[in-house]
C-alpha cells in the first residue's frame, strides 16, 4: 500500500509541476513576443508622427535638419536618422555630423525598403553601426524647397525587454511555486484519505475472497467500507454471491460426475491431450488390480495391451472429435469391448491440471460372459447337430439294412439292438436338455428339503453298478457319516450319477474311482477322482459348459450335458463345483508316466446348521457306499 501511495504522490507531483511550469514558460515566451510587437507598433507610430512634424516644417532645410532631429531625439529618448530616397544618410542623431558621410548606403535596410515602397516599414534586428539590438520604424517624408524627399527612421533599443519579461516570469514562477506547495499539501490530504479508503476496500475484498480449498459459505465483510468505494463494495458482495453459487454448482457437478464414474460397471480411462492418463475409475482398477498410481503414465504402462495403445495413438493423432471401437482379447477367456472417444481441443481460460485438458475418454466393458455366450450358442448348434446326427445316421442306416437283409433272427436282433442303443442315447440327450432347461429356469427342484449325501450317493451307486461292472471299475467311497444338507435327494443323486458315469466311461479299465469328503467351514467338500486320461488344463474352465467335451474324449457315449447339469444343481443348492488339473495319487504298483493322469472334480454343499455340529464331531468315514463295485 505504501508503494501505491508513493507512486500516486509522484504522479500527482509530476502533474502539478507540468501544470504550473508549462504555463509559466509559455507565458514568458508569449509576453516577450507581445511586448516586442507593442514596441514595434509604438515605434512605427512615433516614426509617422516624426514624419508629420517634418512635413509640417517646410522651412527646415538640410543644414538645419540635424539640430532639429537632435533636439527631438533628446525629448523622446530615441535614435533618429534621415535617409534620402537614394539611401544616403543625411543626418543621424547617434553619429557625429562629420562622420555621417562615411556611413554606408541604407537603401537595403528592411525598414527603409518598406518605407520607399509602402510609405512605412519596420524591422527588429541588430544594428551594424552601433552593434545593438534595435527596433526600427521608418516613414516617408515629402520634399521641400530646402530639403529633398526622404525617409525618417526611428530606432529604439529593446535590451531591457528581456529583463522586464524575466521579472514578470519570476513573479509568475513564485506564484506557481506557492500554488505547488498548496497543491502538495492538498494532495497529501487527498492521498491519505484515498489510501485509507483503498485499505478499507482491500480488507473488504480480502474478507470476501473465497477459500476455494476450504469449502463452506463465503465470508462477508463485517465493517462497511468508506463511501468512496460503496459501489465497488456492493459489486464485490454480488460477486461473492455469484462465486459461491458457481462453486456450489461446480462441487455438485464434480460430486455427481465422481459418483457416476465410481459406480459405473465399465472401466473408464481419461487421457489428456498428450495421451497420458488423467483419471481412472474403480471399475478399471477391478479389471486390472495391478494398476497402481496411473496418473501421468501412458495407458500401455498400466493396461498391458499393445493393441489398445496402438488404437489410442491413432485416435490422438487426429485432433478432430471422433470415436473408434475394438474388442480386446486379454487372455484366459477375458474379452473387453473398448470405446475410444476423441475430444476436440478448446481454448483454455487458464493452465489445466495434470498437463492439459481432457483429450480422450476410453471406456472398457467386460464382455467375457457375452463372448462366452455367443461361443456357447455357436458351439451348441454345432454340438447338438453332431450329437443328433450320429444316432440318427445309425438308426437310418440300420433301419435300411433291416429292409435289405434276409430273415436271419440273429442279424435282425443285432441291428435292432444298435437302433435301440442310439434311440436311447437320443432320449437321454433330450431328457438332459429338458432337465438343464428346467434348472436354468429355476424349476425341477424341491425347495426346503433336506437329505443325507451318503443316501444320494447310495442311489447313484445302484444306478451306475451295471456301467461299472462293464468297465471292470471299482468305486471306493468314504463320506463322513451323519451329514445333512439342504437339497433335493433326487437332484443330488443325479450329481453323483453324472460324475460316476463320466468317471466310469473315461477311467482305465481295472482302476478304481475314489469318492471322498470332508467338512470345512460349514460346508461338505466332496471329491470324485478317476485314473483316466485326465482333463487338459486348457479345458478346465469350459468342462462345465453344455456340450463341451474334450476332443480326445468324444465318442465316450455321454450327451455332453452331464457336467453342465451338475454345475446348475450344485449352484442351486448353494455350493460350488470345479475341476482340478492335479492327478490323483499313484495306485500301488503304478509306475509314474511323467504326465498328469486322471480327472478330479470337487463340489461343495452347505450343511444344515443344526446338523453341522454333529457332523463335525463325527468327521470320520461313514459306511454309505463304502466298498467295491465289481
Least trusted range by pLDDT, from 14-18, 149-153, 318-322: 14-18
CATH number at residue 401: 1.10.287.130
Could you tell me which residues come within 8 angstroms of residue 131 by beta carbon, excluding any fewer than 6 positions away?
A: none
Beta strand 600-606 pairing with 576-580: antiparallel
Q: Is the same domain home to 401 and 428?
A: yes
Tally of helices (H runs) and strands (E runs) in the chain: 14, 17
Give the integer Cα–Cα distance in Å for 154 and 124. 12
Could you tell me which residues come within 8 angstroms of residue 563 by beta carbon, excluding any fewer than 6 positions away?
A: 498, 502, 543, 544, 548, 601
The yes-or-no verdict on residue 189 having pLDDT over 70 is yes
pLDDT category, 460, cuts 50, 70, 90? very high
Give the integer Cα–Cα distance in Å for 214 and 211. 5
- 576: part of which helix (H) or strand (E)? strand 576-580
Q: So what's the pLDDT on residue 596? A: 45
In a domain, 259, yes or no: no
Q: So what's the pLDDT on residue 457? A: 92
CA angle 382, 383, 387 (to 5 degrees): 125
Q: So what's the pLDDT on residue 533? A: 83
In a domain, 181, yes or no: no
DSSP state of 175: H
User: How many domains are contained in the chain?
Assistant: 4
Q: Is the same domain home to 84 and 14?
A: yes
Q: So what's the pLDDT on residue 139? A: 93
Q: Is the same domain home to 84 and 103?
A: yes
The yes-or-no verdict on residue 90 having pLDDT over 70 is yes
Q: Are 195 and 1 in contact (CB under 8 A)?
A: yes
Distances in Å between the Cα of 563 and the Cα atoms of 220, 382, 495, 499 are 73, 18, 8, 7
Q: What is the CA radius of gyration of the chain?
A: 62
In a domain, 243, yes or no: no
Q: So what's the pLDDT on residue 106? A: 84
- 270: part of which helix (H) or strand (E)? strand 267-272
Q: So what's the pLDDT on residue 611? A: 44
Q: Is the same domain home to 311 and 390?
A: no
In a domain, 533, yes or no: yes
CATH number at residue 498: 3.30.565.10
pLDDT category, 208, cuts 50, 70, 90? low
Q: Are 480 and 619 in contact (CB under 8 A)?
A: yes
**Selected residue with higher pLDDT from 114 and 412:** 114
Q: Is the same domain home to 419 and 456?
A: no
**Which cell numbers in the block locate residue 204?**
473488504
Q: Are 314 and 340 in contact (CB under 8 A)?
A: no
Give the integer Cα–Cα distance in Å for 553 and 77. 150
Q: Are 489 and 455 in contact (CB under 8 A)?
A: yes
In a domain, 209, yes or no: no
In a domain, 202, yes or no: no
Q: Is the same domain home to 21 and 117?
A: yes
Q: Is the same domain home to 405 and 453?
A: no
Give the integer Cα–Cα distance in Å for 417 and 83. 170
Give the integer Cα–Cα distance in Å for 468 and 457. 14
The yes-or-no verdict on residue 178 having pLDDT over 60 is yes
pTM (predicted TM-score): 0.42
The yes-or-no verdict on residue 25 having pLDDT over 80 is no
Picking from 336, 366, 396, the residue at the C-terminal end of a domain is 366
Q: Is the same domain home to 47 and 128?
A: yes
Q: Is the same domain home to 96 and 129?
A: yes
Picking from 333, 366, 399, the residue at the C-terminal end of a domain is 366
Q: So what's the pLDDT on residue 385? A: 61
Instruction: Please state the rounded mean pLDDT for residues 162-183.
Output: 75
CA-wise closest residue to 332 among 286, 366, 291:
366
Q: Is the same domain home to 12 and 150?
A: yes
- The dihedral of CA 362, 365, 367, 368: what is its sign? positive
Q: So what's the pLDDT on residue 138? A: 93
pLDDT tens track for 544-579:
887 776 654 545 566 778 888 899 889 888 899 998
In a domain, 232, yes or no: no
Q: So what's the pLDDT on residue 14? A: 79
Q: Is the same domain home to 466 and 584?
A: yes
CA angle 157, 158, 162 (to 5 degrees): 155
The yes-or-no verdict on residue 394 having pLDDT over 60 is yes
The yes-or-no verdict on residue 223 having pLDDT over 60 is no
pLDDT category, 104, cuts 50, 70, 90? confident
Q: Are 457 and 627 in contact (CB under 8 A)?
A: no
Domain residue limits at 588: 447-617
Question: Which single residue is written with the C-alpha cell 509559455?
Answer: 26
CATH number at residue 157: 3.30.450.20
Q: Is the same domain home to 10 and 155?
A: yes
In a domain, 203, yes or no: no
Q: Are 599 and 530 in contact (CB under 8 A)?
A: yes
The yes-or-no verdict on residue 165 having pLDDT over 60 is yes
Picking from 313, 336, 366, the residue at the C-terminal end of a domain is 366
CA-wise closest residue to 526 among 553, 492, 561:
492
Q: So what's the pLDDT on residue 618? A: 46
Question: Which single residue is written with the C-alpha cell 492327478?
Answer: 583
Length of the chain: 630
Q: Three-class SS string for 538-588? A: HHCCCCCCCCCCCHHHCCCCCCCCHHHHHHHHHHHCCCEEEEECCCCCCCC
**Selected residue with higher pLDDT from 406 and 545:** 545
Amino acid at each position: 500500500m505504501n508503494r501505491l501511495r508513493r507512486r500516486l504522490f509522484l504522479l500527482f507531483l509530476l502533474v502539478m509541476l507540468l501544470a504550473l511550469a508549462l504555463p509559466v514558460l509559455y507565458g514568458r515566451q508569449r509576453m516577450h513576443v507581445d511586448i516586442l510587437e507593442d514596441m514595434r507598433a509604438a515605434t512605427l507610430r512615433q516614426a509617422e508622427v516624426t514624419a508629420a512634424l517634418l512635413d509640417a516644417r517646410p522651412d527646415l532645410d538640410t543644414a538645419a535638419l540635424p539640430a532639429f532631429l537632435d533636439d527631438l531625439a533628446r525629448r523622446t529618448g530615441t535614435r533618429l536618422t534621415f535617409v534620402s530616397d537614394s539611401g544616403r544618410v543625411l543626418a543621424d542623431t547617434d553619429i557625429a555630423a562629420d562622420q555621417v558621410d562615411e556611413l554606408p548606403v541604407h537603401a537595403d535596410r528592411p525598414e527603409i525598403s518598406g518605407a520607399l515602397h509602402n510609405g512605412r516599414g519596420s524591422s527588429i534586428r541588430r544594428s551594424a553601426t552601433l552593434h545593438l539590438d534595435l527596433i526600427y520604424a521608418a516613414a516617408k517624408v515629402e520634399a521641400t524647397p530646402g530639403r529633398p524627399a526622404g525617409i525618417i527612421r526611428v530606432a529604439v533599443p529593446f535590451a531591457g525587454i528581456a529583463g522586464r519579461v524575466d521579472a514578470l516570469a519570476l513573479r509568475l514562477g513564485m506564484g506557481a511555486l506557492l500554488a505547488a506547495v498548496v497543491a502538495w499539501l492538498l494532495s497529501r490530504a487527498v492521498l491519505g484519505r484515498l489510501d485509507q479508503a483503498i485499505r478499507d476496500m482491500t480488507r473488504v475484498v480480502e474478507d470476501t475472497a473465497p477459500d476455494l480449498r476450504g469449502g463452506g459459505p463465503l465470508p462477508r465483510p463485517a465493517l462497511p467500507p468508506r463511501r468512496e468505494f460503496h459501489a465497488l463494495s456492493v459489486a464485490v458482495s454480488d460477486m461473492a454471491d455469484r462465486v459461491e453459487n458457481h462453486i456450489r454448482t461446480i462441487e455438485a457437478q464434480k460430486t455427481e460426475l465422481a459418483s457416476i464414474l465410481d459406480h459405473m460397471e465399465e472401466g473408464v480411462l481419461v487421457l489428456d491431450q498428450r495421451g497420458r492418463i488423467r483419471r481412472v475409475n474403480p471399475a478399471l482398477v477391478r479389471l486390472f488390480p495391478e494398476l497402481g498410481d496411473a496418473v501421468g503414465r501412458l495407458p500401455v504402462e498400466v493396461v498391458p495391451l499393445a493393441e489398445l495403445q496402438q488404437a489410442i495413438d491413432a485416435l490422438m493423432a487426429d485432433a478432430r472429435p471422433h470415436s473408434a471401437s475394438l474388442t480386446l482379447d486379454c487372455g484366459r477367456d477375458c474379452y473387453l469391448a473398448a470405446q475410444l472417444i476423441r475430444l476436440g481441443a478448446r481454448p483454455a481460460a487458464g493452465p489445466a491440471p495434470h498437463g492439459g485438458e481432457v483429450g480422450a475418454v476410453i471406456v472398457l466393458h467386460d464382455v467375457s460372459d457375452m463372448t462366452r455366450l455367443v461361443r456357447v450358442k455357436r458351439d451348441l448348434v454345432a454340438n447338438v447337430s453332431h450329437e443328433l446326427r450320429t444316432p440318427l445316421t445309425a438308426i437310418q442306416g440300420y433301419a435300411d439294412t433291416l429292409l435289405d437283409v434276409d430273415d436271419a433272427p440273429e442279424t435282425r436282433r443285432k441291428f435292432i439292438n444298435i437302433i435301440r442303443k442310439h434311440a436311447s442315447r437320443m432320449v437321454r440327450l433330450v431328457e438332459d436338455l429338458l432337465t438343464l432347461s428346467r434348472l436354468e429356469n429355476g424349476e425341477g427342484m424341491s425347495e426346503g428339503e433336506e437329505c443325507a449325501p451318503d443316501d444320494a450317493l447310495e442311489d447313484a451307486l445302484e444306478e451306475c453298478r451295471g456301467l461299472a461292472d462293464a468297465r471292470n471299475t471299482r468305486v471306493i467311497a468314504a463320506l463322513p457319516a451323519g451329514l445333512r444338507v439342504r437339497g433335493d435327494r433326487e437332484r443330488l443323486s443325479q450329481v453323483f450319477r453324472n460324475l460316476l458315469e463320466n468317471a466310469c466311461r473315461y477311467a482305465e479299465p481295472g482302476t478304481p474311482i475314489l469318492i471322498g469328503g470332508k467338512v470345512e467351514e460349514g460346508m461338505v467338500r466332496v471329491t470324485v477322482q478317476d485314473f483316466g486320461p485326465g482333463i487338459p488344463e486348457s479345458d478346465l474352465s469350459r468342462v462345465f459348459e453344455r456340450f463341451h467335451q474334450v476332443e480326445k474324449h468324444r465318442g465316450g457315449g455321454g450327451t455332453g450335458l452331464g457336467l453342465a447339469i451338475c454345475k446348475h444343481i450344485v449352484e442351486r443348492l448353494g455350493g460350488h463345483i470345479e475341476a482340478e488339473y492335479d492327478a490323483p495319487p499313484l495306485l500301488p504298483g503304478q509306475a509314474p508316466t511323467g504326465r498328469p493322469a486322471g480327472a478330479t472334480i470337487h463340489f461343495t454343499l452347505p450343511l444344515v446348521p443344526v446338523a453341522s455340529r454333529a457332523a463335525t464331531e463325527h468327521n470320520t468315514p461313514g459306511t454309505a457306499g463304502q466298498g467295491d463295485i465289481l
